[in-house]
Structure 1
């Protein structure tokens, strides 16, 4: 019988415990930059990170920011969502994203939004077919 639990991560040690899973999505980050970015995002942007544990192992991680814009109103922006590559298609991503949906409702947010890289067709199928998301826009960026 699997024992699942979702926990918000607060401490540096908890964040580091999630790094091996997060690194699978954010391959460009090393531990130092990862911790610096999380710390600054928590302080300045209200970033929150939750992990889904199967027994004592982290199998999925999600990071999000509560936001308010004129376009979306009061909403949650999913910044990061990754399931350990050895544990995909076991329902962990769905469970963690559903948890954030419930968190949003309980905290009076009107919607949840995210972006996903153009190459991530499996993720797009998951968001649209499994989780009921609508594809509503493109995201554009410029690097400096």
Structure 2
């Protein structure tokens, strides 16, 4: 019988266990960069990293952080959300994002927000059609 669970990843070993899935989204990072950035983000920016496990295998990963801005008020920003490419469309991403919604509500946040790369058309459909997200802005970036 298959059992899925969602668990916060806190130790170096747990963080590393999600790398092969996270790398499918963050292809520019090697494993050491990934671990270092997660640890720094957790320490400095209240970043939380959760994984959805199918039995004992990581199948989806989500990193998010609680924030406050004048535009959104108290909200949760989803920094990273990825389901293993090999097993997409089985409800894992939906389940993990619903977990974030529940976490946000439980912790008195008013909304959940994220950005999605322009080329990720299937992800946009997922957010708008399956998760009922509104497209509210563009995100702009300048490398320094």
Which of the five TM-score ranges fits, normalised by the shorter chain?
over 0.9
Q: Which residue of 1 aligns with 2:118?
A: 118
State the TM-score, normalized to the length of structure 2: 0.99
Distance (whole Å) between structure 2 residues aligned to residue 118 and residue 40 of structure 1: 27
CA shift digits 1:57-114 (9 cap, x unpaired):
1000000010000110000000000000011000000000000000000010000000
Size of the alignment, in residue pairs?
A: 144
Listed as ranges, the matches of 1:19-58 within 5 Å are 19-58=19-58
How far off its partner does 1:39 sit?
Answer: 1.0
Secondary structure in 2 matching 1:101: helix
* Aligned-pair Cα RMSD in Å: 0.5
Instruction: Give the TM-score normalised by the residue count of structure 1.
Output: 0.99
Q: For residues 106-134 of structure 1, what are the alpha-carbon distances to aligned partners after superposition, in whole Å with 9 as ceiling and x for unaligned?
A: 01000000000000000000000000000
Helix, strand or coil for the counterpart of 2:43? helix
Which 4+ runs in 1 deviate beyond 4 A?
none
Q: Distance in 2 between the 1:37 and 1:62 partners?
A: 14
Q: Corresponding residue for 2:67?
A: 67
Within a 5 Å distance, the mapping from 1:101-140 to structure 2 comes to 101-140=101-140
Unaligned runs of 5+ in 1: none
Q: Shift in Å at residue 29 of structure 1? A: 0.2
Q: In structure 2, the residue corresponding to 1:49 is in which secondary structure?
A: strand
Superposed displacement of residue 32, structure 1: 1.1
Structure 2 residue ranges without an equivalent (≥5)? none
